[in-house]
Amino acid sequence: MQTIQSDSYPIFFENSIQELVNFVERGNYSRLFILTDENTGEFCLPAIQTALAHLDKTDIIEVNAGEESKNLDFCMGIWKMLIDFGADRKALMINVGGGVITDMGGFVASTYKRGIDFVQVPTTLLAQVDASVGGKTGVDLDGVKNIIGTFTQPKAVFMDVEFLKTLPPRQILSGLAEMLKHGLIVDRAYWDDLKNSDLSLPSVELVHRSVEIKNEVVIEDPHEKGIRKALNLGHTIGHAIETYSLLNDDNPLTHGEAIAAGMVCEAYLSAQKIGLPNEELREISSVFDKLYPRYTLNEAMFPALLEIMQNDKKNENGNINCTLLTRIGQYSIDNVCTPDEICDSLRYYAA
């Protein structure tokens, strides 16, 4: 499995823990700080800690699991621990976890002493195929996601699909939605591969291709001026559904479950507005239907959903901007959708 070269850093897929050890040994770092959460501390840290033990210069910083930890209070705690441990500018942060840990760890490292080196060891499928590639770091503030952050590239990313074996099935499905998205926007053959595979534990080949697609898109558009918007497929409506669910449900949708629903709605808009063939709309709907439970939507929820979309930074003048598909494997950015069109797509999904 080939190493993927991002603009300034390698993404390893094979012997990743050994590659991490090699990287650290070459790097001449003063100390190593591993950031984990409770779960990755239990399931993923032991192998890494053992592999680095001979260097005798590792400290562990563990935070609570979950999005609730992704904020400035936790950053403050981590910065203070770095100071207490005497971390200097030659220290390395090793972020071992899902997107919460890779986003927050990247942010803490990119600001501590004006920036120390960090590497990512993504341990959820979502973090592997999405969060750990592209250089976005950050935390939430006052309920606004990722509002504080930087664009800073890691020095390397170490992927190991073995870590996914302890991941709950809902977390696999969450990352899978981004993989399906990667196929839908640029690679029909990859979408077909995904459709025909056992997706309960995606293979390293499937993860590799997904990372390759995300990497190609972000390399071309590192600061989100154009083609990177292709990655927004499913996210305009999906993000609204995710936010709504977070505010109203006891057991809210995961990010991937919400954007899966968003992709079905946006495929409908694609068929209505820019000529996605109807048989491809049916194909997309049926793939998502088989994999994801259907979220219950009713008309009474539409105004709240529209309001969330209209407040989204991607949109202007009450109209709503979507990335759509002309075919499976061909995206189209900046399609303006009216509130009525959006409601029709929600009705299609709910039917």
Q: Which residues bind ligand NAD (CB under 6 A)?
A: 37, 39-40, 43-44, 65-67, 70, 97-101, 103, 123-124, 126-127, 130-131, 134, 136, 145-146, 163, 166-167, 171, 174
Burial of 245 from C-beta contacts in 10 A (0-12 / 13-18 / 19+): middle
CB of 39 to ligand NAD, least distance (A): 3
Answer for the pair 143, 311: CB distance below 8 angstroms, yes or no: no
Q: Which CB atom, from 99 or from 281, has the smaller least distance to ligand NAD?
A: 99
Q: Which CB atom, from 136 or from 182, has the smaller least distance to ligand NAD?
A: 136
Answer for the pair 45, 78: CB distance below 8 angstroms, yes or no: no
CB of 127 to ligand NAD, least distance (A): 4
Q: Which CB atom, from 75 or from 346, has the smaller least distance to ligand NAD?
A: 75
Residues 6+ apart with CB under 8 A from 21: 51, 52
Q: Which CB atom, from 65 or from 287, has the smaller least distance to ligand NAD?
A: 65
CB of 343 to ligand NAD, least distance (A): 27
Return the closest-CA partner of residue 123 out of 156, 98, 152: 98
CB of 304 to ligand NAD, least distance (A): 21
| Strand partners for 149 | 138
Q: Which CB atom, from 30 or from 49, has the smaller least distance to ligand NAD?
A: 49
Distance CA 222, CA 311 (A): 24
Phi–psi pair at 18, nearest 5 degrees: -65, -40
Q: Which CB atom, from 9 or from 43, has the smaller least distance to ligand NAD?
A: 43
Distance CA 4, CA 129 (A): 13
Q: Which CB atom, from 118 or from 268, has the smaller least distance to ligand NAD?
A: 118
Dihedral sign (CA 211, 217, 218, 219): positive
Q: Which CB atom, from 122 or from 183, has the smaller least distance to ligand NAD?
A: 122
Which residue's beta carbon is nearest to the bound ligand NAD?
99
Answer for the pair 346, 327: CB distance below 8 angstroms, yes or no: no
The secondary structure of the chain in percent helix, strand, coil, rounded to multiples of 5, reads 55, 20, 25
CB of 255 to ligand NAD, least distance (A): 6
CB of 126 to ligand NAD, least distance (A): 4
Distance CA 126, CA 99 (A): 7
CB of 162 to ligand NAD, least distance (A): 9
CB of 86 to ligand NAD, least distance (A): 28
Angle ∠(7,259,102) on CA atoms, nearest 5: 40
